[in-house]
């Protein structure tokens, strides 16, 4: 599940459509995900280089918990990998987190921490049933960390590159520098 519905206030517009080496940031993330994964994007529908399904949070721009609530009814797998669409290098780490969750009994989520040890809840693998139980009745505007407080979570370091999210124009320059262009 890739969340693409943010307003990008600090960036100045849609971050996932920003150009990174001739392609949108979202396509970099999608290309890095395992080819056999069914991908559901939440946000305004747009063209992508990979076939994905789309849904929309209610209300549009209602935040990540509203996006999660809109998408979960379309999920049939026991594990949901939750990603921010503005994290161009997160795909490989996402697969690693999903594998780690499969190894752990009694754990409901494995969430990445970046190079500064900050929790990245939009780079994590979650048990779908645990997410369904944790969702509040009114998800719009609910902070994602409040949802995390209702889950048994283990963290795993993913490093600076996987944890890089493009929130500002400076972040986009960092992402371009990592690609060498």
Q: Is the pLDDT of residue 12 over 60?
A: no
Over the Cα atoms of the chain, what is R_g?
15
Distance between CA atoms of 114 and 158, rounded to whole angstroms?
A: 6
How confident is the model over 26-54, as a mean pLDDT?
A: 95
Reported confidence tier of residue 164, pLDDT bands at 50, 70, 90: confident
Domain boundaries, the chain: 2-176
Given pLDDT bands bounded at 50, 70 and 90, which one contains residue 170?
confident
Half-sphere exposure at residue 147, Cβ-oriented, CA atoms within 13 angstroms: 29
Higher pLDDT, 12 or 123: 123
2-176 belongs to CATH 2.40.50.140: no
How far is it, in rounded angstroms, from Cα 159 to Cα 81?
Answer: 18
Q: What tokens does 77 get? A: 């797998």
* Cis amide leading into 145 (omega within 30): no
pLDDT of residue 6: 66
- Residue that wins the pLDDT comparison between 116 and 53: 53
Residue 167's pLDDT is what? 76
């Amino acid at each position: 599940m890739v969340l693409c519905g943010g307003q990008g206030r600090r960036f100045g517009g849609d971050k996932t459509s920003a150009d990174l080496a001739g392609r949108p940031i979202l396509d970099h993330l999608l290309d890095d995900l395992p080819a056999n994964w069914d991908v559901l994007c939440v946000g305004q529908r747009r063209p992508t280089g990979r076939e994905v399904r789309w849904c929309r949070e209610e209300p549009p721009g209602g935040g990540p918990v509203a996006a999660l609530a809109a998408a979960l009814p379309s999920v049939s797998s026991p594990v949901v990998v939750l990603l921010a669409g503005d994290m161009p290098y997160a795909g490989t780490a996402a697969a690693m987190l999903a594998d780690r969750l499969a190894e752990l009994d009694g754990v409901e989520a494995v969430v990445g921490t970046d190079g500064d040890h900050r929790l990245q809840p939009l780079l994590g693998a979650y048990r779908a049933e645990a997410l369904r139980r944790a969702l509040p009745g009114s998800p719009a505007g609910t902070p994602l960390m409040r949802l995390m407080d209702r889950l048994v979570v283990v963290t795993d370091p993913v490093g600076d590159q996987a944890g890089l999210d493009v929130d500002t124009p400076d972040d986009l320059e960092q992402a371009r520098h990592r690609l060498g262009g």
